[in-house]
Structure 1
């Protein structure tokens, strides 16, 4: 670290001491920039392909299936199509899914996965049974024992059928499948899941519904287009003239414009990479469709005491950059705003809203922190953010640090949790009566909100 980049303060003895908060921001910023680099990604891909050729190995795609995860059931439906379309060897593993610091709300995650999978399945021309409750532990155990009993070829032959019976809550159908395909004991099944999870951990990931190819991870059906594009570039697409199996859904705006009868709520965080790449697009979606926009910021998860592992952080930085490039959104020239920059900006938010500039303040901060590498931990950086939002720096200095914003953000967090959501960015669509129509987490669901808005407006 160059001395010019250092930030110091005087301790009680008068000696110069490195600001620990600065060290964290500097280190995280460097990591974000590295993970966001397209040159780095291209270099790693070329290295992986060179090694594969040197060893004479096939193009091997590994898939990690979590039996009780709705997203995994969607992903499983693409296994055979992927094998038919691309010259690959497919290896499937059973895994337990995220645990410990890799998952903030495990119970909520399973429910959200079921709800979300049911919504996106028809949009992707896939199937997901509509059930109100999660599969019982007994059914999950039986489904796992069936899948654990299968070798690779047989597993591909029954994984979708077993998942369909499981998510339909059809105990009778699962028993018939158990009789047809065979089962293993709970202990043997558990060992197989353990081995799959340990293998995934060695490859530095933690989640179900994940595809792994050549050192890179792809989450479920939503990231398959990245994988397909990579495989096509390698020249192993048997049908290069056809559209991708799972193309990236566009955010489409219909011809009918709303008069503000619908409301789109956006729950952003000032330290979220995914929020940084999605916030302006959500604002633009509301503007283009004419729906009323309501912004409800929340504290970053890590500043709420929610831990995260290094593996999770690295994947998020890389995945956000990859998604941003695909969407044509600038991202990655970052200076981590964790801590005081976030608190100072949120203390200005109520005042900015009074000036009609609350949305602009959040947008300006996210741009500065994640695309312009502005150090928001000093007055120079904060002034830049404030003035980019169209606000007075002189007035902002008088308002900065005002209390009251904490209760506002906590109320927003509780509302978000009340919807069964906890991560950012989250979105909620309300109808003209204020009734919830759709509530989901993730920048990769804006296209679904756009489609739902179009459907509602077309109904009149």
Structure 2
């Protein structure tokens, strides 16, 4: 066995050790406080993912309650390693979303229809154009509602009014983000809040924000999760 092979397990253990993770979080938190910056998180949003649609309705209130800045990042393409049963997710997630929406008093069409990929792409290109706008959240809700209701007239009206990112730019952005999000998700660690619902379509039911180094639970929308604020900023 070569020296490299002997050292690799030790290096891997060091990189993934809880103590090192805690030190990195403490360092980032100290730097954030010195720079007087608020906590920040990135929300990866897929309009064809029912869990994303529900979470996007909650996050503005969540951000105001905890005093954080949430930056949306629009996604569309799936990484097969993150979604090993995409066909099952496509079938079961909308059914799950209708029950969750009723339970948490959110909006999701009871008589939903699976959106075609080309229609989802059109709505995604519109959101990409307005990703940095304050009206992103309201636009995302309106587009998602029209998309899942299969309301083509309303969707066409919204696309005409708000426009879209050019197709070539949108394609490059979405492909790059799919690769980046899958590589960064491995660094996430959960916060000790037990009630969780996915906000990025993760079929295991966890809400993940890759650049925030934390996981927040659904209970945080009511302020009942004391550890909801991220331990380290993005």
Asked if these proteins are the same fold (TM beyond 0.5), I'd say: yes
Correspondence for 2:213:
215
Deviation at 1:223, TM superposition (A): 7.7
Helix, strand or coil at the partner of 1:101: coil
TM-score normalized with structure 1 length: 0.38
Distance 1:106 1:112 in 2: 10
Helix, strand or coil at the partner of 1:131: coil
Correspondence for 1:79:
59
Which structure 1 residue ranges, 5 or more long, are not aligned?
1-26, 235-460
Deviation at 1:101, TM superposition (A): 2.6
Deviation at 1:139, TM superposition (A): 2.1
Correspondence for 1:102:
82
Helix, strand or coil at the partner of 2:41: strand
Deviation at 1:201, TM superposition (A): 3.3
Which structure 2 residue ranges, 5 or more long, are not aligned?
1-8, 189-198, 202-207
Q: 1:214 to 1:44 in 2, by over 3 A?
A: farther
Identify the match of residue 116 of structure 1 among 89, 92, 96: 96
Distance 1:218 1:97 in 2: 23
Q: How many residues align?
A: 201
Identify the match of residue 176 of structure 2 among 160, 178, 195: 195
After TM superposition, the structure 1 = structure 2 runs for residues 223-262 of structure 1, keeping only pairs within 5 Å, are 229-231=226-228
Correspondence for 1:127:
107
Correspondence for 1:138:
118
Deviation at 1:54, TM superposition (A): 4.2
Deviation at 1:93, TM superposition (A): 0.4
8 Å CA contact retained: 1:97, 1:208? no
Correspondence for 1:49:
29
8 Å CA contact retained: 1:218, 1:227? no
8 Å CA contact retained: 2:47, 2:124? yes
Deviation at 1:218, TM superposition (A): 4.2
Deviation at 1:174, TM superposition (A): 0.7
Distance 2:229 2:112 in 1: 39
Identify the match of residue 180 of structure 1 among 149, 153, 161: 161
Helix, strand or coil at the partner of 2:185: coil
8 Å CA contact retained: 2:76, 2:121? no
Q: 1:124 to 1:43 in 2, by over 3 A?
A: farther
Q: 1:173 to 1:89 in 2, by over 3 A?
A: same
Q: 1:179 to 1:233 in 2, by over 3 A?
A: closer
Distance 1:223 1:113 in 2: 21
Identify the match of residue 157 of structure 1 among 138, 144, 151: 138
Bigger Rg over Cα = 1
Helix, strand or coil at the partner of 1:204: helix
Q: 1:175 to 1:154 in 2, by over 3 A?
A: same
Deviation at 1:65, TM superposition (A): 0.5
CA RMSD of aligned residues (A): 3.4
Deviation at 1:171, TM superposition (A): 0.8
Deviations 1:356-394, CA, capped at 9 Å, x for gaps: xxxxxxxxxxxxxxxxxxxxxxxxxxxxxxxxxxxxxxx
Distance 1:222 1:192 in 2: 32
8 Å CA contact retained: 1:212, 1:218? no
8 Å CA contact retained: 1:146, 1:182? yes
8 Å CA contact retained: 2:43, 2:73? yes
Name the structure, 1 or 2, with higher relative contact order (CA <8 Å, separation 6+). Answer: 2
